């Protein structure tokens, strides 16, 4: 993807229009994932157009090349489905049995004025997403874009549109719905095609928007290799986190006990956290769950975690354990404003008893912290259900 973006940006800066085909949906055994892209750009010194990238590993590139060349001339984007059938199995070469939806559009300075800024965000590792209308009954809306960042959105005209980007996808309702949903995908580093009614009706059909997110999965660090950690790792993975379970005791920190974790590390929690910070692998989306409820493990790691700009820091234990932990952290010099960010005892009050129920309460508190939710039943609240995020 990086090579494709570099080529696209070079042509864009030189003022050349480029045809771009992007996989926006796949079914069955499609060879490339959503987001895979192919460019058709000008050759050097009047040479024939050249192709960069791939949408299918070679299966339908010829057909996409011809279509992208046509779209560069007409300026009219097209959504096309390539799949295997009696009629078209060999016409386009997709003989693997998969199905691809490919959106083909013209990309130039006029249609995508903030491509350079998006590329800078990606290069710097800053989360950014691009939402593109790939299907709509109104051809004037087809191909419109919204660029979503944690602090707001901009439309095709490059004008800042606020947290929800009102009006830039044709109607305020559609733009609000897409911006809300794209923020959730961006927080998880996910790319996906979303379906709405033409005016952004969430239960409607007729409008499809592809959201391409450029952000690594956020991290969840679970300290303490106990049964509650296994359940927390499971629900963390379900929420889209890259989950690490860490414990200093090798007899407990095993991959067999934590099959849902992306990695299991044997190390002292505070030492592991410090190493990850030094390596630049911790950011403002990282969540930390300290489940050891043992002072020799949890106080040193909480001392470090609470001094970092993290999305969430929670610690398990009784209220007596919590009071003792706060006293120890104050003795270690942790300031009161940092202690106020500690979620302890960890989780929302759901009446949880089992490890699985406790993991749900922890996950619910993490989600509430991410989006600014109150944790109350929606029947007892009013106003918007979906809020802009506190941070991503």
Pick from 215, 199, 227, 202: nearest CA to 389: 215
Do 68 and 19 form a contact (C-beta atoms < 8 A)? yes
In what order do the strands lie in the sheet containing 145-149? Answer: 152-155, 145-149, 128-135, 207-214, 192-196
Q: Read off φ and ψ for residue 205, nearest 5 degrees.
A: -135, 170
Query: Distance between CA atoms of 335 and 219, rounded to whole angstroms?
Result: 25
Q: 137 is written with which tokens? A: 């009954």
Do 182 and 249 form a contact (C-beta atoms < 8 A)? no
Q: 321 is written with which tokens? A: 């354990």
Whole-number pLDDT of residue 162: 43
- For 46-54, what is the mean pLDDT? 84
Query: Distance between CA atoms of 129 and 146, rounded to whole angstroms?
Result: 8
Q: Read off φ and ψ for residue 167, nearest 5 degrees.
A: 90, -15
Pick from 28, 20, 34: nearest CA to 69: 20
Whole-number pLDDT of residue 15: 93
Q: Which residue in the block uniquely carries the two structure tokens 């229009």? A: 17
Query: Distance between CA atoms of 317 and 226, rounded to whole angstroms?
Result: 13
Query: Distance between CA atoms of 37 and 44, rounded to whole angstroms?
Result: 21
Pick from 175, 218, 230, 179: nearest CA to 354: 230
What pTM, to 2 d.p., does this model score? Answer: 0.68
Chain segment 269-317, per-residue pLDDT in tens? 999 999 999 988 898 889 999 999 899 999 999 999 999 999 999 999 9
Chain segment 164-199, per-residue pLDDT in tens? 333 478 888 999 999 999 998 888 888 999 999 999
Whole-number pLDDT of residue 163: 39
DSSP character at residue 132: E
The dihedral built from the CA positions of residue 216, 221, 225 and 227, taken in this order, carries a sign that is negative
Q: 313 is written with which tokens? A: 């820091």
Please, which pLDDT band fits residue 155 given cuts at 50, 70 and 90? low
Do 223 and 248 form a contact (C-beta atoms < 8 A)? no
Query: Distance between CA atoms of 236 and 223, rounded to whole angstroms?
Result: 13
Whole-number pLDDT of residue 89: 42
């Amino acid at each position: 993807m990086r090579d494709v973006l570099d080529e696209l940006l070079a042509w864009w800066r030189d003022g050349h229009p480029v045809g771009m085909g992007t996989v926006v949906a796949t079914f069955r055994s499609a060879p490339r994932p959503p987001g895979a892209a192919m460019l058709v750009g000008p050759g050097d010194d009047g040479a024939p157009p050249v192709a960069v990238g791939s949408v299918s590993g070679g299966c339908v590139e010829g057909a996409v090349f011809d279509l992208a060349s046509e779209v560069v001339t007409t300026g009219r984007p097209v959504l096309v489905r390539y799949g295997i059938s009696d009629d078209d199995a060999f016409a386009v070469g997709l003989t693997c049995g998969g199905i691809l939806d490919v959106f083909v559009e013209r990309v130039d300075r006029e249609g995508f004025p903030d491509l350079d800024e998006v590329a800078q965000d990606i290069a710097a590792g800053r989360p950014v997403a691009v939402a593109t209308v790939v299907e709509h009954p109104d051809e004037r809306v087809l191909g419109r874009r919204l660029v979503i960042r944690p602090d707001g959105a901009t439309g095709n005209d490059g004008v800042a549109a606020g947290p929800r980007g009102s009006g830039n996808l044709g109607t305020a309702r559609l733009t609000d719905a897409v911006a809300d949903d794209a923020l959730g995908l961006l927080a998880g580093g996910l790319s996906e095609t979303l379906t709405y009614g033409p005016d952004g009706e969430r239960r409607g059909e007729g409008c499809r928007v592809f959201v391409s997110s450029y952000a690594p999965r956020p991290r969840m660090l679970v300290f303490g290799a106990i049964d509650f950690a296994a359940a927390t790792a499971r629900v963390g993975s379900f929420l889209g986190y890259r989950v690490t379970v860490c414990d200093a005791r090798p007899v407990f920190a095993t991959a067999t006990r934590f099959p849902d974790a992306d990695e299991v590390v044997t190390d002292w929690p505070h030492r592991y956290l410090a190493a990850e910070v030094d390596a630049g692998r911790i950011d403002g989306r990282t969540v930390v769950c300290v489940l050891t409820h043992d002072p020799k493990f949890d106080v040193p790691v909480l001392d470090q975690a609470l001094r970092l700009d993290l999305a969430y820091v929670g610690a398990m234990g009784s209220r007596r354990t919590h009071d003792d932990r706060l006293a120890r952290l104050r003795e270690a010099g942790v300031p009161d404003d940092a202690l106020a960010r500690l979620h302890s005892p960890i989780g929302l009050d759901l009446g949880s008893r089992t490890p699985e129920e406790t993991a749900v309460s922890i996950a619910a508190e993490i989600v509430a912290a991410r989006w600014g939710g109150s944790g109350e039943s929606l029947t007892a609240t009013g106003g918007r259900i979906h809020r802009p995020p506190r941070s991503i």
